[in-house]
Amino acid sequence: MGKFGLCVLLLHLSALSVWGQNEAGTCPAPGQPGYTVGCNSKTASMEQFRAKSIGPDDILTTNQGVEIADNQNSLKAGSRGPTLLEDFIMREKITHFDHERIPERVVHARGEGAHGYFQVYSSLANITKAKFLQDPNVQTPVFVRFSTVGGSRGSADTVRDIRGFATKFYTEEGNFDIVGNNAPVFFIQDAIKFPDFVHSVKPEPHNEIPQASSAHDNLWDFVGQQPETMHAIMWLMSDRAIPRSLSMMEGFGVHTFRLINADGVSRFVKFHWKPKLGVHSLVWDEAQKLAGKDSDFNRRELWEDIEAGNFPEWELGLQVVEEGDELKFDFDLLDPTKIIPEELVPVQRVGKMVLNRNPDNFFAETEQVAFCVANIVPGIDFTNDPLMQGRLFSYLDTQLSRLGGPNFHEIPINRPVCPFRNNNQRDAMHRTTINVGKTNYDINTRNNGLPKQAPSGSGFSSYHQQMDGAKLRQRSQSFSDHYSQATLFWQSISQPEQDHLVSAFSFELSKLEADAIRIQVLTNLQNIDAQLAKRVADNLGMPLPPKEQNAYPKPVTPSPALNQATTAKTSIETRRIAILAADGVDGQSVEDIKAWAAENKAKAKVIAPHAGKLRSATGQDIQVDGTIVANPSILFDALLIPGGNQSIKTLQEDGGAVHYALEAYVHYKPIAAAAEGGDFLAHIGLIPRLKHRDLPEGMIVAENVDDGFKQQFYNYIAQHRFFNRQRVKAIPA
């Protein structure tokens, strides 16, 4: 910082009269810059000085605050001589760089985060005393981190995987974290199996292959031996595991938690996040190509949507079960491999979460954020789910090494914003708080007994659940049906989703080396549904193994809530439309569609064979937003081919353009053509040549881009994909 900057800062600080360390000797308020536990008049000014956030606009200094005069040349003995050890500026810089990385998360390493708020629709006082769920006028700050599970930090976004969906609520009573996933069930029932499960799905230990993929022998070997994985495996092989966008996926707390009201009455609860834009997925071929062409596809879109003011939004849903109803289901509420079908216990939508601000710094916020299942507030409590019990231990434990010691709660993104007052935890690595005073123990008399416990009736106290039972290593018999809900999932999803699921199993199993593993998995599938097993076996060219005698499933009633085809399909917000054009295009329709898309919070881009500008049929300049080669069709939700004789002629001769449309077709995307655009589609064989009738579904061919055209295009884009298209398999794209 330059001397001038320092003066300005000091002047600014001395002008603070309310929260600053001023003449009156007061301390900054909790949550304000410079606030520190135990802050008093001696420490505050130093803390304020340090609390200034570091921007790019000051003069470079060393970490000791010394201004750097030359950041381009190291100190040498002669301009061609060796570098001197004395060069403390270079040594400090390189030493710091050498230590820039912290260990990546052992799972969920790749992620992206955003800030926002949560607001309850109306008071939930009847079911919980949690303060942030009482007042519809209160907006509670949140930070959300989405992640994939298996891949390393630099792996691709669009791999087949469960997505993490972790939310930290900075409530006025302390931080509450819902550390959830985009699947409502987990692969195992007991935490003791977690390291084995994770080892099996991660790259194999001898060669670290494959990265961010479940298609290898170790995972399927584990799955074959552990039928409890099968329900979550169905989700992993389904379209849910390749979300179109992070804002188009559901979130689930997975475990059953408790809600406790002010009268001490406890109820069971499952947490859900319901996306405003509905649940939509990529298709597998597209996901695989995206992993190469834009490995940041999901991350980039989240960032861009927030920058553009298209804020992702979810409703918080609760499934509440009365304490007395705990045992009324034909599965165990404590079993994390089971859902409560929404048709049995409806999801009440109780509030909304909006993500409206990107992090300032990826490392400081998204990388250093520490979620923990054990972070709860009064009014919320745990259950005996044996997976949850293990998680209560694991998160803080792993963060001790990931974030370098027990003081990671002091990192700004992890700090509560409520009046975080005091405790006697002291010292350790990276401590930044300067505690003052002579006492660091409870109960003391030397500091009038302060800090002290919350008065009786306030503060957190655990739900008084009755416990008994022998000490043993055993799983309850009520956890033993591993197939019925996998069958429920299979029978609930739509036909296209079933087809995709069969393809996903076939793809993954075809990549295995060991036939024995394939046979074991087919046996498990046979226990779920004979049709499913047969279709996969046929694709693998293998006979169907016999169904196991003692396997469930029970008869199931399909759950429409699991069917992605019934999701919200009413909006084109955030959707991306490619306008494929070349010189000579009808400029008016390009402008029209761009304006119409923007009005509807969608994004239309002109994609052309070359960058720069296009010359329209009437001689205007049209800005090209991207080239065909750098902006493939997989980056878009829909395709428009405007008219213009010359443009169409050029596109017909351009293999890249032809492939563009064929690929959009095989990915089931809406395709619209205006005027001569229809000739292009006919030329490449996507629609009949002579009459533009009997079009494949999701396609529009019209004379111009009038209101009727736009309305139909809107409906088609909102529809997302058209899975009943003919001849998709025959098209080489």
Task: Tell me how far apart the alpha carbons of residues 450 and 436 are, in angstroms, rounded to a whole number.
Answer: 13
Q: Does 107 bind ligand HDE (CB under 6 A)?
A: yes
Q: Does 106 bind ligand HDE (CB under 6 A)?
A: yes
Site string for ligand HDE, 239-268 (x = CB under 6 A): ---------------x--------------
- Number of residues forming the site for ligand HDE (CB under 6 A): 25
Of residues 180 and 587, the one with the C-beta less far from ligand HDE: 180
Among the listed residues 117, 194, 329, 420, the single contact to ligand HDE using CB under 6 A: 194
- Beta strands 626-627 and 638-641 are unpaired
For residue 199, indicate whether it is catalytic. no
Q: Does 391 bind ligand HDE (CB under 6 A)?
A: yes
Q: Does 416 bind ligand HDE (CB under 6 A)?
A: no
Is 627:561 a contact under the CB 8 Å cutoff? no
Q: Does 725 bind ligand HDE (CB under 6 A)?
A: no
Is residue 149 packed enough to be buried (19+ CB in 10 Å), middle (13-18) or exposed (0-12)? buried
Residue nearest to ligand HDE (CB): 164
* DSSP structure string for 64-126: TSPBPS-SSS--BSSTTSPBPTT-HHHHHHHHHHHT---PPPSSS-SEEEEEEEEEESS--TT
Candidate ranges 178-186, 293-301, 420-428, 581-589; the one touching ligand HDE (CB under 6 A): 178-186
Q: Does 20 bind ligand HDE (CB under 6 A)?
A: no
Is 345:321 a contact under the CB 8 Å cutoff? yes
Candidate ranges 64-72, 323-331, 395-403, 536-544; the one touching ligand HDE (CB under 6 A): 395-403
Handedness of CA 559, 562, 564, 568 (dihedral sign): positive
Among the listed residues 19, 186, 636, 709, the single contact to ligand HDE using CB under 6 A: 186
Tell me the β-bridge partners of 671: 639, 699
Task: Tell me how far apart the alpha carbons of residues 641 and 651 are, in angstroms, rounded to a whole number.
Answer: 10
Host H or E run for residue 353: strand 348-357
Q: Does 166 bind ligand HDE (CB under 6 A)?
A: yes
Q: How far is the CB of 387 from ligand HDE (least distance, A)?
A: 5
Q: Does 489 bind ligand HDE (CB under 6 A)?
A: no
Among the listed residues 145, 240, 710, 725, the single contact to ligand HDE using CB under 6 A: 145
Q: Does 111 bind ligand HDE (CB under 6 A)?
A: yes
Candidate ranges 100-108, 416-424, 560-568, 657-665; the one touching ligand HDE (CB under 6 A): 100-108
Residue 249, Cβ neighbours under 10 Å: how many?
A: 25
Question: Which residues, in sequence order, are CB contacts of 23 under 8 Å at separation 6+?
Answer: none
Q: Does 180 bind ligand HDE (CB under 6 A)?
A: yes
For residue 181, indicate whether it is catalytic. yes
Is 144:181 a contact under the CB 8 Å cutoff? no
Q: Does 408 bind ligand HDE (CB under 6 A)?
A: no
Is 359:113 a contact under the CB 8 Å cutoff? yes
Q: Does 479 bind ligand HDE (CB under 6 A)?
A: no
Task: Tell me how far apart the alpha carbons of residues 682 and 689 are, in angstroms, rounded to a whole number.
Answer: 5
**Looking only at Cα atoms, what is the longest distance across the chain?**
95
Candidate ranges 205-213, 392-400, 590-598, 685-693; the one touching ligand HDE (CB under 6 A): 392-400
Task: Tell me how far apart the alpha carbons of residues 423 and 435 are, in angstroms, rounded to a whole number.
Answer: 10
Candidate ranges 209-217, 356-364, 388-396, 534-542; the one touching ligand HDE (CB under 6 A): 388-396
Q: How far is the CB of 107 from ligand HDE (least distance, A)?
A: 5
How many Å from the N-terminal Cα to the C-terminal Cα in the chain?
56
Host H or E run for residue 218: helix 217-225
Of residues 194 and 311, the one with the C-beta less far from ligand HDE: 194
Q: Does 184 bind ligand HDE (CB under 6 A)?
A: no
**Using CB under 6 A as the criterion, which residues of the chain lie in contact with ligand HDE when the complex forms?**
105-108, 111, 145, 147, 164, 166, 179-181, 186, 191, 194, 254, 336, 371, 387, 390-391, 394-395, 398-399
Active site residues: 108, 181
